Structure 1
Amino acid sequence: MPQPVEFWFDFASTYSYLTAVRIEEAAAAKNVSVSWRPILLGPIFALHGWNTSPFRVYPIKGEYMWRDVERRAEKLGRPFYKPGANDARDFPQHTVLAARMALIALDGDAGREFCKSVFIAEFEEGRDISDPQTLVDIAVKAGVPGDILGAATSPENKQRLRADVERAKALKIFGAPSFTVGEELFWGDDRLDDALDWAAR
């Protein structure tokens, strides 16, 4: 039997967006199951002395990233909206609440649709995913039941997200998207197929 793949992502990550819109189809083609793992890259970047995205720390790298993501989105037949196009301070977006809500959503059948829809809202529709109402609207449309906002902001769920970030650190994850198959780590959207092949072998 193929091993499962854990897909670690931050909703602010451009390359995680590229993975999110295609990972389920790619995994199904290889009969591999995927667990979606929302995390926050901020605490991970802080380990390296960064207080923001490395794409802002190193502007030339950021300039390349934007063009690369545009090309890759076009190849996938997806539209692409650049967060921060009107104000550079809008990138990376604040994703704590989105990650907390994703944990609740992923407890049910609508979780993956919720996560994918958050990425689409941010990187295709240009919406503000730090806005609670935007996230609630996405959750309702995705079919997430109950008071997701209340559940997401509970002390227990906040601790749950912190624990997942600590687990990511223990797995030596340093960016997103990352994929783990057991203790084997793959980093980057362009390593998705490698991770799936490793799981399926």
Structure 2
Amino acid sequence: MAELEFWFDFASPYSYLAAETVEAAAADTGVAVIWRPFLLGPIFSEQGWSDSPFNLYPARGRYLWLDLKRETTRHGIPWQRPARFPFNSALATKTASWVEPGPALSRFCQAVFRAGFAERRDPATRAVIETCLRQAGLDHAPLERALADGGGDRCRDDVGAARDRGIFGAPSFVVAGELYWGNERMAAALERAWAVSR
């Protein structure tokens, strides 16, 4: 079966859009989605950014919130501007790294995104992550592993894997080693995944 790697940071608004639409779009083309949460902050730091570019460039930030309102309305996706942007996505990402790949991981990731971008809850808090795990049908074991000594090792490895693929923003899609950046490139990435599987 064709595969699409979906790389995202939980604090990325456009990744939220992708997370809400990628599974249905992939199913239409017979493509399996591999969910790959990672921390974008270290990669931004390497680019010389100390904050989200949507905060560093005010005009870009104003456009973001207008565009997100339009796009979520167009797709029928629930949306509320986060109380803090960007929220700290480290705990959610570390926890996700301890969830086995598969449906439970996608459910957990979607729950985290909805907490941050539809419910104005802070995914940096333990209580929110515990709720998201329950919503995904999981116990607290991934969170406990994330909080233990060495619990961030997998997360650091995932940042390295993103770097190796040339990823510089989120969401990004990788098909057979080829990078597609941005939610608007999802359709092209899915077409490519379908083509290489033939």
| TM-score normalised to structure 2 length | 0.94
Task: Report how far residue 152 of structure 1 moved.
Answer: 1.9
Task: Report how far residue 121 of structure 1 moved.
Answer: 1.1
Q: Tell me how far apart the structure 2 counterparts of residues 155 and 166 of structure 1 sit (CA, whole Å).
A: 20
The 4+ residue runs of structure 1 with deviation greater than 3 A are: 106-109, 154-157
Q: Report the counterpart of residue 162 of structure 1 in structure 2.
A: 156
Aligned: 1:121 with 2:120 = no
Matches within 5 A, 1:23-172: 23-84=22-83, 90-107=84-101, 109-172=103-166
Q: Which amino acid aligns with 1:128?
A: D
- In structure 1, the residue corresponding to 2:138 is in which secondary structure? coil
Q: Tell me how far apart the structure 2 counterparts of residues 198 and 108 of structure 1 sit (CA, whole Å).
A: 22
Q: Tell me how far apart the structure 2 counterparts of residues 109 and 188 of structure 1 sit (CA, whole Å).
A: 23
Q: Which amino acid aligns with 2:144?
A: G
Alpha carbon RMSD of aligned pairs, Å? 1.3
Task: Report how far residue 148 of structure 1 moved.
Answer: 2.3
Task: Report how far residue 169 of structure 1 moved.
Answer: 1.0
Deviations 1:157-185 (A, max 9, x none): 41111011011112111100000012100
Q: Tell me how far apart the structure 2 counterparts of residues 168 and 138 of structure 1 sit (CA, whole Å).
A: 24
Q: Tell me how far apart the structure 1 counterparts of residues 100 and 110 of structure 2 sit (CA, whole Å).
A: 11
Deviations 1:43-87 (A, max 9, x none): 000111101100011110111111111111001011211114xxx
Aligned: 1:178 with 2:160 = no
| TM-score normalised to structure 1 length | 0.92
Task: Report how far residue 101 of structure 1 moved.
Answer: 1.0
**Structure 1: 5+ residue stretches without partners:** 85-89
Identity of aligned residues (%): 44
Task: Report how far residue 138 of structure 1 moved.
Answer: 1.3
Q: Tell me how far apart the structure 1 counterparts of residues 105 and 36 of structure 2 sit (CA, whole Å).
A: 11
Task: Report how far residue 111 of structure 1 moved.
Answer: 1.2
Q: Tell me how far apart the structure 1 counterparts of residues 140 and 124 of structure 2 sit (CA, whole Å).
A: 20
Number of residue pairs matched?
A: 195
**Structure 2: 5+ residue stretches without partners:** none
Q: Report the counterpart of residue 187 of structure 1 in structure 2.
A: 181
